[in-house]
Amino acid sequence: MRKFLMIALNTVALISIAAVAFASDGANTYGDLVYFGAALGMAIAAAGCGIGQGLGLKAACEGTARNPEASNKITVALILGLAFVESLSIYALVVNLMLLTA
């Protein structure tokens, strides 16, 4: 539930600031608001990804401790999952860079 809440908050923050940024007629009428929104969106994305990676690592460590024979399968799944979680923060960075250059 927390993961869904973090994703929803990040999406709402990015969409609300993006709507303000892209609604202007080429002039940056909101000034520092866009920079604040980009920083806030990236902070939320980084926090959500950090929490997700920590929970994934915790579960992998517990799984390896319970069943050491399955450590190879757990490691492969862990690395793949961490890559997917990290890609979410990279997507947030790309959206924030688009906001800053618009």
Which contiguous run of DSSP H or E holds residue 93? Answer: helix 71-101
User: At residue 18, does pLDDT exceed 80?
Assistant: no
Nearest CA among 82, 8, 85, 94 for reference residue 44:
8
Q: pTM score, two decimals?
A: 0.63
- The pLDDT tens digits of the residues spanning 20-69 come to 666 656 555 666 788 888 888 888 888 988 998 999 999 999 999 999 89
- State how far the Cα of 3 lies from the Cα of 82, in Å rounded to an integer: 14
The enclosing domain of 39 has a CATH number of 1.20.20.10
CA–CA distances in Å: residue 74 to residues 63, 64, 79, 85, 87: 7, 7, 9, 16, 20
Integer Cα distance of 85 and 13 in angstroms: 19
pLDDT tens readout for residues 82-97:
898 888 889 988 988 8
- The number of folded domains in the chain is 1
Instruction: Decide if 3 is inside a domain.
Output: no
Residue 18: inside a domain: no
- Domain contains 15: no
pLDDT score of 69: 92
For residue 35, CA distances in Å to 14, 21, 94 come to: 12, 10, 14
Give the range of the structural domain holding residue 56, as residue numbers without chain letter.
Answer: 28-101
Q: Is residue 55 part of a domain?
A: yes
Q: What pLDDT is recorded for position 3?
A: 76
